[in-house]
Amino acid sequence: MQKVIRRTIMAEKQAARRLARKKDKSSREAAKSSREQYLVARRMEVKDVKAATIARREDWEMGPLAPKRDVGLKKDTYGAIDSQRLRGRVWTPARRKELLKPWGGEKWLNIAKGDRVVMLEGREKGRIGEITNIDLERCQVTLKGMNMVHLTLRSNVWNLC
């Protein structure tokens, strides 16, 4: 009888270790995927900023002879930002909880859809907009009336973090 009990306990411990290894592996893979997505988005951002800097310099040097960038082959992409970059990154639950703590946490957020808020930073500083969407995974609030898109920041998205 003691042998059976001992084997059962060993089997339970082995199953628990296996489950712990599996959870650890999946969390590492999720973190790796998140890092890779962030790096891809960051590379795209740097590439866009470099291209804009070069274009701005070219426009300045050529003056009135500068090429029109909103016609021809580039008319569909001029001034456009990739949707992945516009959405922002998904935060881990622990980081999300930390970022949302000043606003009441994830469960009891002190702001709601339809509230009017004032932009405190960025190009839209001082403007008032109405909240149209709250994305808790990305810690972002989308505001109505803030529709200017810039190369280095997401304009119609106000980061809570």
Say what the pLDDT of residue 13 is.
Answer: 95
The CATH number that domain 88-161 falls under is 2.30.30.30
pLDDT of 35? 86
What's the pLDDT tens digit per position in 63-108?
Answer: 888 887 777 666 666 666 666 666 667 777 888 888 888 777 777 7
Domain ranges of the chain: 1-80, 88-161
* Torsion, Cα of 62, 64, 65, 67 (10° steps): 90
pLDDT at 49 over 80: yes
pLDDT (average), residues 35-47:
84
Measured CA to CA, the distance from residue 25 to residue 135 in angstroms comes to 28
Instruction: Pick the closest to residue 113 from 91, 85, 95, 136 (CA basis).
Output: 136
Per-residue pLDDT tens over the stretch 7-36: 999 999 999 999 999 999 999 998 898 888
pLDDT value at residue 147:
60
Q: In the chain, how many H helices and how many E strands?
A: 3, 4
Residues 109-116: what's their mean pLDDT?
A: 86
Residue given tokens 């070219």 in the structure block: 58
Give the pLDDT score at 52.
82
Q: What pLDDT, on the 0 to 100 scale, is given for residue 95?
A: 83
**Local structure of residue 102 (DSSP, 8 states):** G
Instruction: Quote the pLDDT of residue 8.
Output: 93
The pLDDT value given to residue 125: 84
pLDDT of res. 53: 87
For the cut 60, the answer to whether the pLDDT of residue 150 exceeds it is: no
Average pLDDT, the chain: 79
